[in-house]
Amino acid sequence: MWQVILSFLISTSFAQGFDSNKAYQDYQFSLETYTQSNSDFQKTRDFYLANKTLTLKEDTRKKLLAMLKARDQLESVYLTALRIKLLETHGQTDKIDSEIEWYKNHLMNYKDDDVVENLFAKSSEVGERYKTNTSKVSYEALFLISLGEEIELRQSHEAIYTQLKALVKDKDFFNRWFTDIDLVIQTLKQNEELAKTQIDKSYDDASETLNSSVASLNQLNKFLTEVNTSIKNQQ
């Protein structure tokens, strides 16, 4: 479960808006809290297994309770961070809203006097939820964030392209260049549409398709820079 969260921190850069910065700070705090709680539980459990006293058993139960609550909170905060990024890239948030609500509700199910067996049962509920719902929703959100950012980059380049074409005087000279640029833009749009059809079946395939657009975006940027330079030289 937590590999997804770590990869999100590595691969996703938050925008500079207040909401995104706050979400990132909340995520870091929750991650630190969970990491410390998990470490405390592991150490206390090891002590108990080496010396099975009633005192250590109770300490282990309390540490387990704290760790599980911190884990639910971390997942909720992580999903909230994804939600904010989705809003920034104009993505749909319905599915992720439902997941956030589930973890918030599940967190309220923990009781201070829960016995260990109940805690493990409630922990299993989280594992099952993650496997059947949260994992897919998280990966889909990550994909939609990447797709939104890719579309924004393409559209910004297309806007520049339109401006450059308006400046061109000798259109015959540039027509073949424009044909090549149009083909790159067409490839980017095709990749976007293909990735949308792939995400329901395979996050890896959809991501690979979007990743293939990086080279096309770089090529588009290079072409537009060349056109801009040529226009300046002809003036």
What tens digit of pLDDT does each residue of 18-70 get? 477 788 889 999 999 999 999 999 999 999 999 999 999 999 999 999 999 99
Question: pLDDT confidence of 2, banded at 50, 70, 90?
Answer: very low
Residues 6 or more apart in contact with residue 51 via CB below 8 angstroms? none
Give the helix/strand (H/E) hosting 218.
helix 213-234
* Domain residue ranges in the chain: 2-146, 148-234
- Mean pLDDT value across the chain: 89
**What pLDDT, on a 0 to 100 scale, did the predictor assign at position 11?**
39
Burial class (CB in 10 A: 0-12, 13-18, 19+), 133: middle
Helical H runs in 51-134? Answer: 54-88, 94-107, 116-129
Q: What is the mean pLDDT of residues 92-117?
A: 94
Residues 6 or more apart in contact with residue 102 via CB below 8 angstroms? 129, 133
pTM of structure:
0.82
- Paired tokens of 185: 């833009």
Q: Where on the phi/psi map is residue 90: left (φ > 0), alpha (ψ -120 to 50), or beta? A: left
Burial 137-176 (b: 16+ CB within 10 A, else e): bbbbbbbbbbbbbbbebbeebbebbeebeeebeeeeebee
**What pLDDT, on a 0 to 100 scale, did the predictor assign at position 78?**
94
Q: What is the mean pLDDT of residues 105-127?
A: 96
Q: What is the mean pLDDT of residues 180-193?
A: 97
Nearest to 85, CA basis, from 28, 130, 141, 135? 141
